[in-house]
Amino acid sequence: MFRAKSHRLLVPFDGTFKIAKARTKPSKKSNRKAKQPGDWEQKLEEQRKKLGDSQHRLYSRGNHSVLIILQALDAAGKDGTIRHVLSGVNPCGLHVASFKAPTELEAAHDFLWRTSPHLPAHGHVTVFNRSYYEEVLVVRVHPDFLAAQQVPDKPSAELWEGRLRAIAEHERHLARQGTVILKFWLNVSNEEQRARLLERIDDPEKRWKFRAGDLDERDYWDDYLRAYEQCLNATSRPWSPWYAIPADDKHFMRWQVAKLVNDAFEQLDLDFPKPTKAVLAELEEARTRLLKR
């Protein structure tokens, strides 16, 4: 079963993570690695090519799957991260699932139900753009959303703790079946989010992204951070780690996500399958037949 290695951005497994101490910008040490403005893009390109090769090997082996979960507040850069990090991956082995407000059918089932059909098959990579974590984040901040789910319990500390335990148990089960789970919280600052929302208003090519409801959600900023802090502490585990990624610098953020995914791939047995003697004999027979025609 996959187990995460130590990393400076890893959310610890002992429940001591504090959002107030989490960076939204790269550290000075990280910035020293990028001597020129375009360095992060160049470093990302290197990781992107490596990721494409790793996914090819993953597909050839078929003994693991990879689930990448992205969670963040509005305008943190989830869509751009998916586009820039995974553009080198063969689409045949990649699936991206985005989860918005549950449909009537989805709300009529347990909160983990709607994501299950999108879990990656062995040899494949799946990205969840938002996920079942919305049920302990958005729904926690707006508990009236529970009405549509018709759950027997009212909003309470016990309800949220129970859902967090269910998520942790669900992810451990997936990990035991060979799924590598990597979870990234893109940590954008309040100031940077404001700047990006203003850019969506001012830039004609980005106005289609703007939603007035995003401004309403900003009023719940502190509530969301409290929900995130408990969520990350309760569900960051060695087999399904959370990483708190500084998101104010998009180029650094994308490089860091790509690097962490590649680091996880390196822990897997991704050598191309070696043919047995019987397979080698079959290949030689095929060669002989082909050369005769």
Domains and CATH numbers, the chain: 19-292 (3.40.50.300)
Nearest to 247 by CA among 69, 81, 20: 81
pLDDT tens digits for range 78-88: 999 999 999 99
Q: What pLDDT shows up at residue 293? A: 74
Contact 5, 267 (CB under 8 A): yes
Residue 76: CB atoms within 10 Å? 25
**Helical H segments across the chain, by residue range:** 28-31, 39-61, 78-85, 104-107, 138-141, 157-176, 190-202, 212-218, 221-235, 250-265, 277-292
pLDDT of amino acid 35:
59
Average pLDDT, the chain: 95
Q: Contact, 93 vs 58, CB < 8 A?
A: yes
The residue among 78, 60, 58 whose CA lies nearest residue 70 is 78
Confidence of residue 213 (pLDDT cuts 50, 70, 90): confident
pTM for the full model? Answer: 0.94
Residue 84 near residue 44 (C-beta atoms within 8 A): yes
Q: What percent of the chain is modeled with pLDDT above 90? A: 89
Check residue 27 and give its pLDDT: 86
Euclidean distance between CA atoms 234 and 164, whole angstroms: 6
pLDDT, average across residues 40-66: 95
| Residue 34 binned pLDDT confidence (cut-offs 50, 70, 90) | low
Question: Among candidates 119, 28, 136, which has minimal Cα distance to 69?
Answer: 119
201-216 average pLDDT score? 91
**Of the candidates 283, 278, 264, 274, the residue with the CA atom closest to the CA atom of residue 55:** 264
Reported confidence tier of residue 36, pLDDT bands at 50, 70, 90: low
Confidence grade of residue 28 (pLDDT, cut at 50, 70, 90) = confident
> CB-based contacts of 50: which residues, under 8 Å, 6+ apart?
262
